[in-house]
Amino acid sequence: MFRVGLDVHLRKISMCVLNDEGKRVRYLDLPGDGQRLLEELAALGDSVALCYEASCGYGTLYDRLKKLPNVKRVAVAHPGQLRLIFRCKKKNDRVDAGKLATLLFLDQVPEVHVPKLDVRAWRALIEFRRTQVDKQTAIKNQLRAVLRGHGIAAAHRKALWTQKGLEWLKELKLPTALAELQRDCLLEELASCRAQLQKLERELDRIGRAHAGVTLLRTIPGVGPRTAEAVIAYIDEPKRFARSNQIGSYFGLVPCQDQSAASNRLGHITREGPATVRKFLCEAAWQGIQRCPEIRAFFERVQGGDPGRKKIALVATAHWLARVMLAMLRSGEVGRFTRKTRKQEKEEAAQGKQAEAAQAKKAEAAQAEAAESKPAA
């Protein structure tokens, strides 16, 4: 069997071929469109294994290579782990292709999962929606800056983004014509962004309805459609995770570790994997803490009554939810969570406000008492 390492770029593909004994028999620099590559691979014979690094468009190349009848294996390598392996002073495309071929010969390639085309398209749509949400937030911040620059306090009102608020903003007289022009352009951009988001979310809803897992995960308090579909799209095949704790590493929710002898230091989370899913999981964890006694109990147990551990406890809760979701997708069973009713949420919110008001009143009384007891000068 020939082992082939590929260093893939947009305009060029470097190819290194090793024989059964691991000796280098060929080096080639080919055009980046991949057509010559397919011809060279077909000419190698009946049994070929390939390895290349995961980068933009790696799935398309994977599909093309898998169609070749003589290609028995296509290994897509994890770029983050390759950086540790390939760290050296001499680096070029041919050297990288040779190292990939050697790793494949030794069967030491740190592989990544390659989902099917429809799942890759689903992931891309989820990520594109996230960029549109970020774009909408940026436009709103620019509109607030315009108002704030002219001393208009309404810039901080949440109601500014309702239909009534936007109409008020559109008709608002600003001190200069240039400021009004800027305001009008930003409002047009905001309307366009909102229309695109509605179109994207309709399509995501349609895809989500076709997946039973989305409905299953939404039974968890705090988990909405966007979180459920993102988790399912990136997990793809639940059985590829041999242990439930691997899901935390995949989503970058586990701490960095520096262990040596008796010393064992844990740092911030690794932040590996899809940032969009990590953010969704943290948002779902926070919503679940407000709505579900079981999720809140886990959060409070990790926090241990220390306000300084709030962020740590939130991330730990997100990690725990990810493991619960994986278990639910494997079994197809609904998790045992108690969901608070709207009435209970309103009652607890009212009680919280009353407690805060009572505490503020008590503090004012204490200050007044201290002022009265202070001796006159």
Residues 6+ apart with CB under 8 A from 221: 287, 288, 291, 292, 295, 337, 338, 339, 340
Dihedral pair phi/psi, residue 71, rounded to 5°: -90, 115
Which two three-digit tokens encode residue 38? 């397919």
Each residue of 67-102: pLDDT tens digit? Answer: 999 999 999 999 888 876 667 777 888 889 999 999
Q: Are 178 and 125 members of one domain? A: yes
| CATH value at residue 80 | 3.30.420.40
Q: Are 42 and 86 members of one domain? A: yes
CB 58 within 8 A of CB 76: yes
Is 356 within the bounds of a domain? no
The pLDDT of residue 346: 66
Is 267 within the bounds of a domain? yes
Output helix, strand, coil percentages for the chain, rounded to the nearest 5.
60, 15, 25
The pLDDT of residue 359: 78
Which two three-digit tokens encode residue 317? 């809760």
Burial 262-301 (b: 16+ CB within 10 A, else e): eeeeeeebbebbbebbbebbbbbbbbbbebbebbbebbee
Residue 85 has, within 13 A of its CA and on its CB side, a CA count of 17
Which two three-digit tokens encode residue 194? 């909102």
Q: How does DSSP assign 311-332, residue by residue?
A: HHHHHHHHHHHHHHHHHHHHH-
Q: Are 21 and 51 members of one domain? A: yes
Q: Are 176 and 97 members of one domain? A: no
Is 303 within the bounds of a domain? yes
The pLDDT of residue 91: 80
Is 280 within the bounds of a domain? yes
Alpha-carbon gap, residue 275 to 255, rounded angstroms: 15
The pLDDT of residue 352: 67
Computed over its alpha carbons, how large is the radius of gyration of the chain?
Answer: 28
Domain boundary (168, 183, 210) is at 210
Is 217 within the bounds of a domain? no
Is 344 within the bounds of a domain? no
In whole angstroms, what separates CA 64 from the centre of its chain? 28
Is 370 within the bounds of a domain? no
Give the pTM. 0.83
Q: Are 92 and 171 members of one domain? A: no
Task: pLDDT tens for the chain, 377 residues: list them.
Answer: 999 999 999 999 999 999 999 999 999 999 999 999 999 999 998 899 999 999 888 999 999 999 999 999 999 999 888 876 667 777 888 889 999 999 999 999 999 999 999 999 999 999 999 999 999 999 999 999 999 898 887 756 678 898 999 999 999 999 999 999 999 999 999 999 999 999 999 999 999 999 999 999 999 999 999 999 999 999 999 999 988 889 999 999 998 877 777 777 777 888 988 999 999 999 999 999 999 999 999 999 999 999 999 999 999 999 999 999 999 999 998 887 766 556 566 666 677 677 777 777 787 777 777 777 666 55
Which among 89, 87, 100 has a CA at the least distance from the CA of 13?
100
Q: Are 86 and 153 members of one domain? A: no
The pLDDT of residue 235: 96
| Domain that residue 272 falls in | 225-331
DSSP designation for 158:
G
Domain boundary (106, 134, 166) is at 106
Q: Are 57 and 91 members of one domain? A: yes
Domain boundary (331, 348, 367) is at 331
Q: Are 326 and 244 members of one domain? A: yes
Alpha-carbon gap, residue 157 to 18, rounded angstroms: 65
Q: Are 86 and 23 members of one domain? A: yes
Q: Are 184 and 89 members of one domain? A: no
Q: Give the count of domains, the chain.
A: 3
Is 358 within the bounds of a domain? no
Q: Are 73 and 97 members of one domain? A: yes
